[in-house]
Amino acid sequence: MFDEREIGTFVEGTTRYFEVSAQQPATIGSPFLVTSGAPEVSDYTGVITISGRRSGVVYFTAPRGMLIVMLMKMNESDVSHDNLCDLVGEIANTISGNARRDFGRDFKISAPSIVSGTAKQVDLPGGCRPIVIPINWRSHSARLVVCLN
């Protein structure tokens, strides 16, 4: 199970990403533990597989509208499906990469895989209870999900 300091690493990485890349801070809701089932995914989800000292997944999931606004804030006019997939993967990768810096070299991260569409689910490792970190940016809501053993 994660302690408060470890969850703080992901919260700080998330707020730092929005401040720098989206040029506008996000507010972070209270992280919570999912006790049954899997957390819901939004339109686009970037999934990072973790191995080494910890194993499991970290994923960022956001609605299409939020990602489009983020791309426009980044002066990107191409809001195609491929660019939305690239953005959600970049966000998940950057946040996980920041955590890797804090947790050390034994926290190995994969390249992001992308899940799109709300009917899809992310496979969670057995015996893991996911922690959801709510993210609010402008009028949009997204989630960072951390599920590590």
Look at residue 125 and give its three-state secondary structure.
coil
- The structure's pTM equals 0.91
Look at residue 87 and give its three-state secondary structure.
helix
Both structure tokens of 83? 């660019």
Distances in whole angstroms, Cα of residue 45 to Cα of each of 2, 9, 59, 64, 133:
22, 20, 7, 10, 14
Residue 54 has pLDDT above 90, yes or no: no
The mean pLDDT value of the chain amounts to 88
Give the pLDDT confidence score for residue 135 in this predicted structure: 96
pLDDT in tens, 65-104: 999 999 999 999 999 999 999 999 999 998 888 888 788 8
Residue 6 has pLDDT above 80, yes or no: no
Give the pLDDT confidence score for residue 3 in this predicted structure: 62
In the chain, the number of structural domains is 1
* Domain residue limits at 69: 4-148
| CATH label of the domain that carries residue 14 | 3.40.1550.10
Give the pLDDT confidence score for residue 7 in this predicted structure: 80
Looking at residues 31-43, what average pLDDT do you find?
89
Look at residue 137 and give its three-state secondary structure.
strand
Lowest model confidence (mean pLDDT) among 31-35, 77-81, 98-102, 140-144 = 98-102
pLDDT in tens, 97-128: 888 878 888 888 899 999 997 667 888 888 88
